Structure 1
């Protein structure tokens, strides 16, 4: 028998330039691409860029200034210097009823209020995102039970409970305030994330990942979570802006931080009489304007970050 089969060359030994893996240096890193998208979106939106510059300036001024100012000496009462108008006797923003410098209280108070807003946002977002992911991904009886717990918390008289807790908690501090607020304000985020995850869990890429044997943890946090990053970023931004005003409202009602702890809320809460509102605007107006400016800046930055997230999702 003569073997008529010709010896075929082994093509597996010949490197194909089309499928040869490229060098790592030729592949742009995802972090670099993400940073380029952020720069591009902010350069396109001049308002968001200006808001970012203003917010960074405020944050640097507040946190650097708070390291220089001595809080104990700042809060020392000096009745001989009470209600000095702004720009007089060396006081940039004047003094309050106790003769304490308003400018120093504005710096320290802004630091405390920013830390409160940031702390509440981080804790509530972490709880809400994890809770919503689990509820929306598994669905069924798990979703029913978890959502009934959320419904029960949401129907509670939250404001009254917070006021009671603020009154009875011993050694009430900024950390206590953050923990109390975070215990009730995560439910809205959980419902929002759960509704989005329910729609994502029914898509083909989730079924394909389950078929390939990926764990539920990997699918939720590696597949589903990045696809809802846009709504998370927007919610985080709006929540941070809103949480800055939570302490202000409670302080105005008399249930915020203790008077010995300066904050933007305690400064605004000093506007408790017609005389102070009309004739002593330096006591409460700077804090009110600072809250307004920070909220506007955060909202504009959040809109730009939403476009960044949408662009990154389109690029894959």
Structure 2
């Protein structure tokens, strides 16, 4: 070990489970987690960190970024930095709650359909197919017509109940492949209850699909919520990253040179999505022996290359 230059694990890493060790040694996963932590912490502390009230006028219209207004002001004279923090609080809440809800629904229906099969599979698959053809945009338009305007909560609920179809179909397919494995059959022969087999034997073997579905559902929810509010289907009175882009478009910010009204929320959405994708890469490596082996092989090759050696590891 010493000759290969491999450092002994620290006491902290030695106590952590293998999955966490793999995650915290993955640069992409750690980077994504740190970025998400910064955004979530800033959103949670928005009332404390915001120098101005994001819902009220704080200065003159279209003031450039400076000492008084870190990211400038909007056409209405509202502080962009304060709105960015408050908007992140709403957008991230909608994204994570909608993504988690859609993932839980998809996992429950997908595993039930794949494991119990028969009549249960036929009924649940029918609902999955119906969910896949239900468009979220028309539903939000219908809800908005009933409640006058679609708030972020309404948009999040619609996205949650229309975004679980793809996750359910993927989980069902994987469940069909796992249910006939030896360890599942052994658990059934031992008389284990079905819910224990599902939770302890089947679900842990699909963690990458579950986490991947959650990440994609969350990204979709954040982008869909921002897109729907950008085109005017949301509540203009709320402060989210989408409504910030909506008012910037209404005020023709880019045409008038007020770039600071557009780029902060746009970059926030982009960086949040990129951070979630980086975390998903790390989870894929944890749950895939092939990816772990490829990563280890790459590290050994780089080490040997630095030593001036050329050896085929695999």
Query: Please, what TM-score do these two structures have when normalized by structure 2?
Result: 0.80
Count residues in correspondence. 280
Residue equivalent to 1:263: 240
Q: CA–CA distance in 1 between the matches of 2:222 and 2:283?
A: 19
Structure (1 or 2) with the larger CA radius of gyration: 1
User: How do residues 46-195 of structure 1 correspond to structure 2 at under 5 angstroms?
Assistant: 47-69=28-50, 73-77=53-57, 81-87=60-66, 90-169=68-147, 173-195=151-173
Tell me, what secondary structure is at the counterpart of 1:272? helix
Report how far residue 187 of structure 1 moved. Answer: 1.4
The match for 1:35 is 20
Distance apart, 1:275 and its partner CA: 3.7
- Which residues of structure 2 form unaligned runs of 5+? 1-12, 293-314
Would you say 1:305 and 2:290 are equivalent positions?
no
Structure 1 residues not aligned, in runs of 5+: 1-27
> CA offset at residue 68 of structure 1?
4.3
Match of 2:254 among 271, 277, 293: 277
1:210 matched to 2:192? no
Contact in 2 for aligned 1:166/1:177 (Cα 8 Å)? no
CA RMSD of aligned residues (A): 2.8
Q: Kindly tell me: are residues 157 and 295 of structure 1, through their superposed partners in 2, closer, same or farther at Cα, counting changes over 3 Å?
A: closer
- Distance in 1 between residues matched to 2:182 and 2:119, nearest whole Å: 22
Q: Does 1:196 align with 2:177?
A: no
Partners of 1:29 and 1:84 lie apart in 2 by 53
Q: Is the 8 A contact 2:134 2:162 kept in 1?
A: no
Deviation at 1:172, TM superposition (A): 5.3
Q: What do the CA deviations read for 1:252-274 (whole angstroms, capped 9, x no partner)? A: 11112x22211111112224259
Task: Supply the distance in 1 between the matched residues of 2:175 and 2:241 (Cα, whole angstroms).
Answer: 37
Match in the other structure for 2:224: 246
Contact 2:23 2:30 in 1 (8 A): no
**Partner of 1:9 in structure 2?**
none
The answer (yes or no) to whether the contact 1:38–1:308 under 8 Å persists in 2 is yes
Q: 1: distance between equivalents of 2:149 and 2:141? A: 15
Equivalent-residue separation in structure 1 for 2:267 and 2:36 (angstroms)? 13
